[in-house]
């Protein structure tokens, strides 16, 4: 695969992942200063400012991981892992719209369980193609595990 094609592939995947981030932010940002601030939250809730930088790094890591898988065999050879990647990305965006957009932590928690499973399946599929690609998804899985615990706690504290 040519160098230019590899760079274009990386750019497309970064744009895709940052586009997913923007789609989620469209539901999240309007709720931060009002609805989310008014929710009861556990004492271990991180400050709001930490979420943007953490998610930005994670989305870039996800894009690089997908690129590493795509780069090895292209779309035909990596179709299953890349489709799994797209599924988990869809669950990722859906969480923001369920939790923040619909203001429903219960639905958000149900979705985050599906997201967590989708990340694990994607991580395993990526690992089989590229150990580095799999490793790049580990921080994402760790953060979503933490986010799931936070989501559950917020749901329980506000029902």
pTM of the model: 0.95
The percentage of residues in the chain with a pLDDT greater than 70, rounded to a whole number, is 100
Beta carbons of 90 and 73 less than 8 angstroms apart: no
CATH at residue 102: 1.20.1260.100
Q: pLDDT tens-digit profile of 85-135?
A: 999 999 999 999 999 999 999 999 999 999 999 999 999 999 999 999 999
Which pLDDT belongs to residue 2?
86
pLDDT averaged over every residue in the chain: 97
145 pLDDT higher than 80: yes
Which pLDDT belongs to residue 132?
98
Give CA–CA dist 9/2, Å, rounded. 11
Domains contained in the chain, number: 1
State which residues form the domain around 130: 3-157
> In angstroms, how far is the first alpha carbon of the chain from the final one?
54
């Amino acid at each position: 695969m040519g160098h230019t094609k590899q760079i274009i592939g990386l750019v497309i995947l970064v744009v895709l992942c940052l586009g997913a981030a923007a789609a989620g932010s469209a539901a999240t940002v309007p709720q931060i200063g009002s609805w989310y601030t008014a929710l009861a939250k556990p004492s271990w809730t991180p400050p709001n400012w930490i979420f943007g930088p953490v998610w930005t790094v994670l989305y870039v890591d996800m894009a690089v991981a997908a690129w590493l898988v795509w780069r090895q065999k292209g779309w035909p050879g990596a179709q299953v892992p890349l489709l799994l990647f797209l599924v988990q990305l869809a669950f990722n965006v859906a969480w923001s719209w369920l939790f923040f957009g619909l203001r429903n932590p219960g639905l958000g928690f149900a979705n985050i369980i599906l997201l967590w499973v989708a990340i694990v399946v994607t991580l395993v599929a990526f690992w089989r193609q590229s150990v580095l690609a799999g490793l790049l998804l580990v921080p994402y899985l760790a953060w979503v595990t933490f986010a799931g615990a936070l989501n559950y706690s917020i749901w329980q504290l506000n029902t």
